């Protein structure tokens, strides 16, 4: 099983600032990685797939990068609606596995 590690449990950011969220896979997964946003009481929302491709309707301030084992989600200029928990997920193999999540909170 591919273990996904999100090393930052919480990131405190001011509105308008940049947030950088790391994610590491326990083995090489090429670009088979997706990112999701989850707000309290809601189901996850797809943001990024293929490590860097924004899903339909996702604002351009969200970007993904990386390949192999190390990946990053960047939110270039945080807006109030972006404060949420973000999960990375690998689809290189089954079982699908998710990171533990990084909470982006208001500084």
Partner 1 sequence: QVQLQESGPGLVKPAETLSLTCTLSGGSFSNGNSYWNWVRQPAGRGLEWIGHVKPSGTTRYNPSLKNRVTIWLDTSKNQFSLTVNSVTAEDTAMYFCARETYHYDNNGYYFFDSWGPGTLVAVSS
Q: Using CB under 8 A as the criterion, which residues of the chain lie in contact with partner 1 when the complex forms?
A: 1, 31-32, 34, 36, 42-46, 49-50, 53, 55, 87, 89, 91, 94-101
Residue 100's contacts (CB-CB under 8 Å, 6 or more residues apart) are: 4, 5, 6, 9
CB of 1 to partner 1, least distance (A): 8
2/56 Cα distance (integer angstroms): 27
Q: Which is nearer to partner 1, 15 or 90 (CB)?
A: 90
CB of 14 to partner 1, least distance (A): 25
45-49 vs 53-54, strand pairing mode = antiparallel
CB of 101 to partner 1, least distance (A): 5
């Amino acid at each position: 099983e591919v273990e996904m590690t999100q090393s930052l449990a919480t990131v405190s950011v001011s509105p308008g600032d940049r947030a950088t969220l790391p994610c590491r896979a326990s083995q090489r997964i090429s670009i088979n990685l997706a990112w999701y946003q989850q707000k309290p009481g809601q189901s996850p929302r797809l943001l990024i797939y293929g490590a860097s491709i924004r899903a339909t309707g996702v604002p351009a301030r969200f970007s993904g990068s990386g390949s192999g084992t190390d990946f990053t989600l960047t939110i270039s200029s945080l807006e109030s609606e972006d404060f949420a928990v973000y999960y990375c997920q690998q689809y290189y193999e089954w079982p699908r596995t998710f990171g533990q999540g990084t909470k982006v909170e208001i500084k």
